[in-house]
A and B are shown apart, each in its own frame.
Chain A
Amino acid sequence: MSRQNLKNVILRELEIWRKRPIFVVAPLAIMAFCSLFYLTFLGDGLPSDLPIGVVDNDNSSLSRNFVRQLDATQLGKVVRYDTFAEARNDMQTGKLTSVCLIPTGFNSDLQANRQPKITIYINGLYFVGGALSYQDLLTMIYLTSGAVQKQVLEARGIPASQMQGLLRPVNIDLHKIGNPLTSYNECLSTNMLPGTLQMVIILILIYSLGIELKYNKSTELLETSGGSIAVAVGGKLILYTVFFTLLGMVVEVLLFSWMHFPLAGSIWNMMLDMLLLVLASESCAVFIIGICPICRFALSLGAIFSVLSLSFTGFTLPVEVMPRILQGFPYMFPLRHYYLFGVQEIMYGSGFSGWWKEVIWLLAFLIPPVFVLPRLKSAFVKLDYPKN
């Protein structure tokens, strides 16, 4: 009997999908658009040709060479200025990521060992551009300085075999685990796309349950389910879980197979992570509509919740930077656990031993909705909620 009811609920839901395709079309369109956006917007993952303003007060062959070399770097593109005031104006209005000031007499001072000072102004308001052009400038200064040192040492008759040790006594061999190319694209897309999916799941599901209340169809739904709220909600959830999991799997394939983002572990484990994220997000949706069975209100709550989860996940700003009192807060969001699971799998390929805790967390999200089902049922039956 119950199996028949479940089937009826599913068939009813399919009929709703047919009549109002928004439930299927919207998630597909949103995910397609976001994939297109995040994966193309950030290009190769590292910006190039950042505008760096240069005020060359010396105009000697040496300073011109410095400027040319700076222009030739992958990161920088030199914009020349006659006066500092012009360059400052363009930096203030965000057109430049940094400004480099070469003093008068740069060449002659350098030849005479008088240590001419280069002044750098960084535009810290545009984080990525500012930090990268700063790094680019420092590298150029360091290299030029090294060239001068090399010349002097050569003049002193130091043999080439000792040169390297004198110029560069310590070297760092850097290994970037999980993102060897420092790609911003990898860092962002691997989290923003699942983040968008979780947002879509929460909103669509709240809407799907909410319109039953809104258009007084909830009693009809309960009749179809044989009076059981669990069957009514479960029937809907089965369909949505299949749909969203498939969508999520496409996202994972897109990220790790099509875009070839580095993945130390297995894509199947990421699929499991996605399945758990889908389930936990669905639970959040049921919980929200359960504690607040008013479609319009629950949707606003769901919207606030899912937008906040993007900030609280910790992939942009690590959780430990947040005020101590708020540091427990991120654990309330399924996306946080998806991210922690992903870090283990993507960066270390650590398998079950690395992410089992996150699995428990994500499964724990399935419990709270159970407690609000009775409330949802009473709303479904008695329609005892404010209509506005």
Chain B
Amino acid sequence: MGGLKKWFGDAVLICRRELKRIVSDGGMTLIFFVAGLGYPLLYNCVYHNGILEDTPVAVVDESHSVHSRRYIRKVDATRELRVAQKCATMAEAEEFMRQRKVKGVLYFPEDFGRNIDECRTATLSIYADMSSFLYYKNLMLGANFVMLDEMEKIKIERYGAGGMSDQEISQLIEAIPYEENNPYNNTFSYSIFFLSAALLLIIQQVMFYGVCLMAGTVREEGSSYLRLCDRANGPHVGSVVAGRAAAYWGIFMVIGVYIACLVPAMFGLPQRGNFTDILVLLLIYVTDCVFFATAWSSFFHRRETVLVTLLFISPIVMFLTGFSWPATAFPKFWRLFSYIFPTSFACPAFINLNTAGCELSQVGNLLNGLLIQTAAYCLISVIAARISRARVRGACPSL
């Protein structure tokens, strides 16, 4: 009983000491609080709009026909595109494109109108700026919408001329109508898909860098978590791991609720999930992140090493959540590699729960993944603490 009491006492002491250390360290507060609280806001501001509209394009109309003019008018009327320049020659349009005043060119060749009049296929050329995929997407969507619309109009005329009745024509033109639904992201908004993944990533990365930085500092000062000045034998390894974990856990549960619940509400991101479900996910995820960070922190013996050597991993971890490149297309090695990170389970779980409105039972597999990971990292943290305890004792036999 006394042992248990001491265990708890040590854990509480270490937790308090850790909290004090975090608050009194400028670099730490910058990472934990400014980055942890500020990044979600900044990303939301930057990505808030998320939809690119009225991408400027240039048109070169060498056909000067009623058909090409109608096409151009319709392109200008789409949500995606805006006719910014009307050029006489391709060379002129190319120059506008090179100056990046327009992000695409629509070229109507001389025979465009004649081909339509003579019942042949009329071809127009599109030149797309591929510097950002959003430009390309807009150009494709806008030009295709108009093409489909024009085709329908022309087909009605041509079939009518062939002696079909209106009903026959409409049945034939739309032989297989389709209805499309994009239930989770109606407008294909960049912000909804990006932020849903990025929000939870911030928790893990901020905690990882912060905790490793802290551990490096402690070791650099020649101190150790395993040393308590007033204890002859030092604390129990378990209470050290638990004490540190409790400190980080407390801070990041608050930051976590802010990031996963408050920020989406502030910026009007979809919140289709159940609050308690999200909370359950956060409980598991933050615990996992704490042990993930403490386990890795045992490798760092200098404060600065973690930022200098591992900051590059952040964008990589983001890709490994499968938010943009589909997880089914991951090469096998990278899929296995992704299991190192809690976000590989938590981000899809959050996207499914919060944005797609899943129930907790539907993301059971992902939660199990998180739990197994938590157990593994917890074990690694304890083993690492034991190893470093042996080292601390070796260096200082009086302990």
Contacts and interface: CB of A to CB of B under 8 A. Distances in A.
Our verdict on whether A and B bind, yes or no, reads: yes
A295 B52 contact: no
A326 to B, nearest CB: 6
B239 to A, nearest CB: 27
A126 interface: yes
Contact of B307 (A124, A184, A195, A303): A303
Nearest to B190: A317
A41 B325 contact: yes
A175 B125 contact: yes
B142 to A, nearest CB: 11
A315 B316 CA distance: 16
A266 interface: no
Nearest to B355: A125
A128 B324 contact: yes
Contacts of A89: 362
A41 B172 contact: no
Contacts of B184: 123-125
A174 to B, nearest CB: 5
Of the listed residues B168, B192, B209, B325, the one surrounded by the most CB atoms of chain A closer than 10 A to its CB is B325
Contact of B311 (A47, A192, A199, A210): A199
Contacts, number: 323
A30 B318 CA distance: 17
A321 B305 CA distance: 36
Interface stretch (B19-27, B287-295, B381-389): B19-27
Given A92-B362, A203-B307, A297 B329 contact: no
B181 A120 contact: yes
A219 to B, nearest CB: 21
Nearest to B352: A93
Contacts of A320: 52
A167 to B, nearest CB: 8
B46 A311 contact: yes
B314 interface: yes
B357 interface: yes
A182 B130 CA distance: 8
Contact of B30 (A97, A138, A297, A316): A297
Interface string B320-360: 00111111111101100000000000001001100111100
A233 interface: no
A43 B329 contact: yes
B83 to A, nearest CB: 16
Contacts of B355: 125
A320 B193 CA distance: 19
A122 B135 CA distance: 21
B303 A296 contact: yes
B12 interface: no
Nearest to B318: A310
B218 to A, nearest CB: 13
A204 B308 contact: yes
Given A22-B309, A125-B184, A165-B121, A110 B176 contact: yes
Nearest to A184: B325
Nearest to A25: B309
A182 B136 contact: yes
A110 B213 CA distance: 66
Contact of A145 (B25, B131, B175, B348): B175
B174 A115 contact: yes
B143 interface: yes
B176 A124 contact: no
B158 A172 contact: no
Interface in A119-134: 119-131, 134
A320 B116 CA distance: 37
Interface stretch (B149-157, B225-233, B256-264): B149-157
Interface residues on B, range: 35 or more
B304 interface: yes
A175 B348 contact: no
A300 B27 contact: yes
Given A48-B329, A127-B190, A303-B307, A170 B154 contact: yes
A296 B188 contact: no
Contacts of B25: 296, 388
A17 to B, nearest CB: 14
Contact of B131 (A295, A296, A299, A347): A347
B358 A93 contact: yes
A187 B121 contact: no
Contacts of B168: 113
B357 to A, nearest CB: 7
Given A41-B330, A166-B119, A300 B311 contact: no
B326 A312 contact: no
Given A169-B154, A303-B311, A388-B26, A317 B47 contact: yes
B182 A124 contact: yes
Contact of B312 (A152, A168, A199): A199
Contacts of A316: 132-133
Contacts of B24: 388
B2 interface: no
A196 B319 CA distance: 14
Contact of B352 (A94, A120, A174): A94
A241 interface: no
B304 A207 contact: yes
Contacts of A299: 27, 304, 307-308
B209 A326 contact: no
A325 B7 CA distance: 54
Interface in B226-268: none
A42 interface: yes
B128 A174 contact: yes
Nearest to B330: A41
Contact of A348 (B98, B135, B209, B351): B98
A246 to B, nearest CB: 19
Given A115-B174, A158-B162, A207-B308, 16 more contacts: A41-B325, A93-B362, A94-B348, A124-B188, A125-B193, A127-B323, A166-B155, A169-B158, A171-B123, A171-B124, A296-B213, A299-B27, A302-B307, A306-B311, A307-B311, A322-B47
Top 4 closest pairs, chain A to chain B, by CB = A124-B185, A129-B326, A179-B130, A47-B329
18 contacts: A49-B329, A92-B358, A93-B352, A114-B171, A124-B183, A124-B192, A130-B185, A145-B174, A169-B116, A173-B123, A176-B128, A195-B315, A296-B25, A311-B43, A321-B50, A344-B98, A350-B98, A354-B98
